[in-house]
Amino acid sequence: MNAALKRNMFICGFLVVPVSLYWLFVMYPTVKLVQLSFTDWNGLDGARWVGLANFNEIFHTPEVWLSLRNNLIYFAIGLVGLAFSLFLAVVLTGRIRLAKSFRAVIFTPFILNVTAVSFMFGFLYETESGAINLGLRALGLSFLEQRWLSDPHLVNVSLAFVVVWKSVGFYMVLLIAALQSIPKDLYEAAVMDGAGKWNMFRYITIPSISDIVKLIVFLVFTGSVQTFEQPFLLTGQGGPGYASMTFALYSVHAAFKFGRYGLASSMAVVLILIVLVVQILQRTLVREKEDGHEDFK
């Protein structure tokens, strides 16, 4: 037995376990999910084949489109949180006192339990006894009091803020790592050429961290379309009415509240397809932009 064959057998031997686990816990459930999406199944009796009926129902149900709109609100506010993370990253990579301590404090919410964070904000958002409205009353600003979780026009913004508060520290750490990887020579050369801070930020910092920013934008998008915990824990049923219902929460209700596992599976398939399409579009646009730069050069 030659050395090359021994090496290949050695590699394959190590791959058997992880590949088997991947097929068992990822590929098989995915295939089963797709199969169930074409059936009408209540979780107990035999599944009945219905073809594309579940997908047709999804695209003709107003509540589904409302849930997708709510997910877009999370995405939009998540982009605002990304801008704030970039601001914090730029500030905390500068020469300021206690920068490391500030980083630790800002990153802390990310490691907190989602349930604990949600219940904490539930106490803050209480209409009558919540800390936010009590603080506004104490400051003589009672006219600014809001029904943070019961106003249909405000509830999604309130919930999205919880998501941003928890994730802004994580994005900040990623951006700080990207900022610290930029060669100092670029900034020194820019200073010698008389460039101001804004021009250095625009023409050096942003292009240098563009890849990590694109990654974070994709993470914000996937996180927004998969949002479940905050509306479930803080509003229970996606209320008031369907005002805070998200796509993931609607699919969970379809499965465990109404016993329509086939419909829930088809919604999960749609969610996977949305993420895949966005990822393909992102990669295509990035590749075209890079090819355009190469042609220009």
Mean pLDDT, rounded, for 257-282 = 90
Has residue 296 got a pLDDT over 50?
Answer: no
Per-residue confidence at 110, pLDDT binned at 50, 70, 90? very high
Burial of 168 (0-12, 13-18, 19+ CB in 10 A): buried
Please report, as a single letter, which amino acid is at residue 103. R
Q: Per-residue pLDDT for 292 more than 70?
A: no
Say what the pLDDT of residue 55 is.
93
The tokens for 135 are 């603080």
Question: What's the CA dihedral at 150, 115, 86, 157 to 10 degrees?
Answer: -10
Return the pLDDT at 2. Answer: 72
Residue type at 109? P
Mean pLDDT across 19-38: 92
Using the 8-state DSSP alphabet, how is residue 95 labeled?
S
CB atoms within 10 A of CB 169: 19
- CA–CA distance, 228 with 115 (Å, rounded to integer): 11
Q: What is the C-alpha to C-alpha distance for residues 165 and 88, in angstroms, rounded to an integer?
A: 13
pLDDT tens-digit map of 133-188:
999 999 988 888 899 998 889 999 999 999 999 999 999 999 999 999 888 888 88
Round the average pLDDT of the chain to a whole number and report it.
88
Cα angle 270, 276, 277; round to 5:
90
Mean pLDDT of 118-126: 90
Q: Note the pLDDT tens digit of each residue in 37-81.
A: 999 988 888 888 998 999 999 999 898 999 999 999 999 999 999
Q: What is the pLDDT of residue 261?
A: 92
- Residue 49 has φ and ψ, to the nearest 5°, of -70, 125
> Which residue, 29, 31, 30, 51, is CA-closest to 40?
51
The model's pTM: 0.87
Using an 8 Å Cβ cutoff, are 231 and 246 in contact? yes
The predicted model gives 114-124 an average pLDDT of 90
Least confident segment among 88-92, 109-113, 242-246, 291-295: 291-295
pLDDT above 70: residue 234: yes
What SS3 state is found at 48? Answer: strand
Instruction: Give the three-state DSSP class for 40.
Output: strand
Q: Burial, 274: exposed, middle or buried (Cβ in 10 Å; 0-12, 13-18, 19+)?
A: middle
Phi, psi of 17 (to 5 degrees): -65, -55
Q: Taking residues 185-199, what's their average pLDDT? A: 85
pLDDT at residue 293 is higher than 90: no
